[in-house]
Chains A and B, each alone.
Chain A
Amino acid sequence: MIGKYRGNRQAISGLVRETEVHRDLYVDQELFELEMEHLFANTWIYVGHDSQVPKTGDYYATTIGAQPALMVRDGKGQVRLFYNRCPHKGTRLTGDSCGNTGQFFRCPYHAWTFRLDGSLAGVPLKAEYDAARFAGSHGAQGLTPVRHVHNYRGFVFAKMSDAGLGFEEFFGESLSSIDNMIDRSPEGRLEVAGGVLRYMHDCNWKILVENQTDACHPMIVHQSSAGIAADAWKTPPPGAKKPMAVEIYAPFVSSYEFFQGMGLRVWDNGHGHTGVSHSIHSDYSAVPGYFDQMKAAYGEDRAKAILGENRHNTVYFPNLMLKGPIQLLRLFKPLAANRTLVESWTFRLVGAPDLLLERTVMYNRLVNAPTSVVGHDDLEVYERAQTGLLADGNEWVNLQRLYDPDEAGGHTLVAGGTSEAQMRNQFRAWEKFMALSL
């Protein structure tokens, strides 16, 4: 079947205008498949954290875009990344999402075995392949490595195609948000901890990513949850300490002025963050002993600078969001035009008091779980958008808030927190990285 978009570069670039985008970006399955082939191949996609595979033979199975992938720690301590398929018949090598495979991966189908560097270690009945010149076959090459892998201070990213930019060029100054999260550990080290929450969303992945820097929805969408929490604490019991849950929930329903004032920073290639001057994470109670640890590790000025940075959500284009002040990241895994798996991961600041991890874990549960009262209302508006966008009467999505005619052009931009500049930035990047290989 000939679709509307495959082989039609002009039609694809016509979907993105300066301040509005076409609804097919969210609902069209052919475009989704083109995104997987081009956008998710030409950009650096977050895979996992190297603390998920601390020891030789540890593996973590995941997806990069639509591709099954396998991250493993080899015998030299290096993290390697392969497509997760046996070169024989395509069988995925791992069943569990993580574990330790020992010195070899062994395919459960015909017992082909592979070393941790991906090379083929053995094939049963090897002699029966001789006449077919096995050595020159795809099968003999072992596991296929993902072309480009970059381990940035523990955060492992991959780029599947040779098109696109180098890691540093692609992310540029946006890496400062990852740096700040790591620097919050007195030892400068993070570990994945606290479990993962996996929440299925019947909506396009971009709706979720856009929402990460949408500062005009919390006071509306979360009035019924965070608003009730804030109201409940307006008349606290005498002498009661504000519960951690109220500290987490109440700022969601801050005013437009609060979110406007916190600011938005936009970097080239689709990255950006809310919370330049402050954020909903700025006023959490101090954790006893933590600042002293930070002061001892970094000196007072540097410790204050690290902890004074309270960025809200940093979007790493295309499908990652990171929250430095609470050591949390969310990965928006695209499954179909109208289906996205959201994984919310948390980190321990190595060397810091457990109370920080406790808060991180509570935040994740209260906001990102399939049972979260915040998450429920977010998902509701996303899914209503997914179905509402099928209306043919108006095919355009409006992204005009705080538009600045000079905002394009690759420079770092700081705007009011209520700006939709980051969403426009994402779509400029979308067009750029799709077009690289179309």
Chain B
Amino acid sequence: MASAPPNDQQLIDFVVREARLLDQQQLDTWLDLFSDDGHYWMPVEWGQTDPRLTTSLMYEDKFLLRLRIDRLKSNRTFSQSPKSRCHHVLQAPQVDARNDAEGTYVTWTPLHYVESRGDVQTLYAAWATHHLAVIDDQIRIRLKRVDLVNCDAALGSIQLFV
């Protein structure tokens, strides 16, 4: 590896910046944080281990995340008239696993997420687990797993990214 491995603070700063990009809806920049094989996973079952034969709220590769972002820009996206806004409050991320030899890291971040649209505002609580990898000297997301505390509840629309 060309440069020194990221220290814990750099990993934490990465996770915090990731949430900030979502709040500021800089979604193209946000998508670049993912590795080419990266996934965003929001399980529907508590403690879910498999995204393939059990459904999920989201299990999206970069292609599907790109569609989602492009859709938010379209003027035919009726559910985004008016547009949604979102707000993350993170508890300090913790680095749960470091593997400097492989350049892979895992962080754990409890968070509160608010999505608002028109007159309605909804609060969600979740834990985000980031599986990070250093690729070409850059930290990238291999997997962002978002476990909603009420993942198996009957939910209304969640239109942006927790």
Task: Find out whether the CB atom of B158 lies under 8 angstroms from the CB atom of A373.
Answer: no
Q: Are A365 and B157 in contact (CB under 8 A)?
A: no
A230 to chain B, nearest CB (A): 10
Interface contact B155-A346, CB-CB below 8 Å: no
Q: With A195-B44, A221-B78, A371-B42 given, is the CB distance from A358 to B57 under 8 Å?
A: no
Closest residue of chain B to A376 (Cβ to Cβ) is: B79
Decide yes or no whether A189 CB sits under 8 A from chain B: no
1/0 contact trace for A190-207 toward B, CB 8 Å? 000111111110100000
Cross-chain contact B154 with A369 (CB below 8 angstroms) = no
Question: CA of A245 to CA of B76 in the docked complex: distance in angstroms?
Answer: 21
Q: Is the pair B155, A198 in contact by a Cβ cutoff of 8 Å?
A: yes
CB B84 to nearest CB in A, in angstroms, measures 10
Tell me the bound Cα distance from A41 to B156 in angstroms.
Answer: 28
Chain A count of residues within 8 A CB distance of the other chain? 40
Asked if residues A370 and B45 are in contact (CB atoms below 8 Å), the reply is no
Task: Let me know if B55 and A346 touch, CB within 8 A.
Answer: yes
Q: Tell me the bound Cα distance from A132 to B115 in angstroms.
A: 57
Let me know if B2 is at the binding interface, CB within 8 A.
no
**Binary B-proximity of A332-360 (CB < 8 A = 1, otherwise 0):** 00000000010000100000001001100
User: Would you give the 0/1 interface string for A70-87, flagging 1 where the beta carbon is closer than 8 Å to chain B?
Assistant: 000000000000000000
Shortest Cβ gap from A128 to chain B (Å): 41
- Would you give the 0/1 interface string for A368-385, flagging 1 where the beta carbon is closer than 8 Å to chain B? 011101011101110000
In the complex, are the beta carbons of B57 and A370 less than 8 A apart? yes
B156/A370 in contact, CB under 8 A: yes
| Residues 242-284 of chain A, each 1 if its beta carbon lies under 8 Å from chain B, else 0 | 0101000100000000000000000000000000000000000
**Interface pair B54/A373, CB less than 8 Å apart:** no
Q: Mark B137-162, 1 if CB is under 8 A from A, else 0.
A: 00000000000000011111111000
**Closest residue of A by beta carbon distance from B153:** A198
Interchain CB contact under 8 A, A376 and B154? no
The residues of A that contact B112 with a CB separation of less than 8 Å are none
Complex Cα gap A365–B64 (Å): 12
- Taking a contact as CB atoms under 8 Å apart, the answer to whether B78 and A369 are in contact is no
A369-B44, A371-B42, A377-B77 known; A225 vs B67 contact (CB < 8 Å): yes
B159 (CB) vs chain A CBs: closest residue: A376
Within 8 A of A (CB), among B91-110: none
Contact B67 A371 (CB under 8 A): no
Q: Give the residues in chain B near A380, CB-CB below 8 Å.
A: 78-79
- A224 and B42 contact, CB distance less than 8 A: no
Name B75's closest neighbour in chain A (CB-CB): A224
For residue A50, give the distance in angstroms from its CB to the closest CB of chain B: 21
A228→B74 contact, CB < 8 A: yes
Question: For residue A249, which residues in chain B have a CB less than 8 angstroms away from its CB?
Answer: 67
Residue A119 is within 8 A (CB to CB) of chain B in the complex: no
Query: Provided the pairs A224-B76, A373-B71, A381-B78 are in contact, do residues A361 and B157 lie with their beta carbons within 8 angstroms?
Result: no
Q: Which residues of A contact B74 (CB under 8 A)?
A: 223-224, 228
Within 8 Å by CB of B53, from A223, A354, A379, lies: A354
Residue A232 at the chain B interface, CB threshold 8 Å: yes
* Chain B residues within 8 Å of A227, by CB: 76
Q: Do the beta carbons of B55 and A361 come within 8 Å of each other?
A: yes
In B62-88, which residues have CB < 8 Å from any A CB? Answer: 63-64, 66-68, 70-71, 74, 76-79
Known A-B contacts A361-B54, A369-B44; A200 and B155 likewise in contact (beta carbons under 8 Å): yes
Q: In angstroms, how far is the closest chain B Cβ from the Cβ of A66?
A: 16
Nearest chain B residue, comparing its CB with the CB of A232: B67
* A202 to B79 CA separation, bound complex (whole angstroms): 14
Q: Confirm or deny: A180 has a beta carbon within 8 angstroms of a beta carbon on chain B.
A: no
Distance in angstroms from A332 CB to nearest chain B CB is 13
**Assuming A225-B67, A225-B71, A377-B79, is B57 touching A369 (CB within 8 A)?**
yes
User: Is B59 an interface position by the 8 A CB rule?
Assistant: yes
Among residues 379 to 419 in chain A, which have CB atoms less than 8 Å away from a CB atom of chain B? 379-381
**Smallest CB gap from A220: residue in B:** B76
Q: Is A215 located at the chain interface by the 8 A CB criterion? A: no
Closest residue to B44 on the A side, CB-wise?
A195
Across-interface contacts of B157 in A (CB, < 8 A)? 199, 370-371, 375-376, 379
Q: Is the CB of A232 within 8 A of B153?
A: no
> Given A361-B55, A369-B58, is A197 in contact with B44 using a C-beta cutoff of 8 Å?
yes
Collect the chain B residues with CB atoms within 8 Å of residue A319's CB: none
Q: Which of B23-72 contact A (CB under 8 A)?
A: 42, 44-45, 48, 52-59, 63-64, 66-68, 70-71
**Considering the complex of A and B, which 8 residue pairs feature the smallest CB-CB distances, nearest first?**
A380-B79, A376-B79, A224-B77, A198-B154, A370-B155, A361-B55, A371-B57, A224-B74
A-B contact pairs, 14 of them (CB 8 A): A198-B154, A199-B157, A221-B78, A223-B76, A224-B76, A225-B77, A229-B67, A243-B63, A249-B67, A358-B52, A361-B54, A369-B57, A377-B77, A377-B78
Known: A224-B77, A377-B77. 20 other contacts (CB 8 A): A194-B53, A195-B54, A197-B57, A198-B153, A198-B155, A199-B155, A224-B78, A354-B53, A357-B53, A358-B53, A361-B53, A362-B55, A364-B55, A365-B57, A365-B59, A369-B55, A369-B56, A370-B57, A373-B68, A379-B79
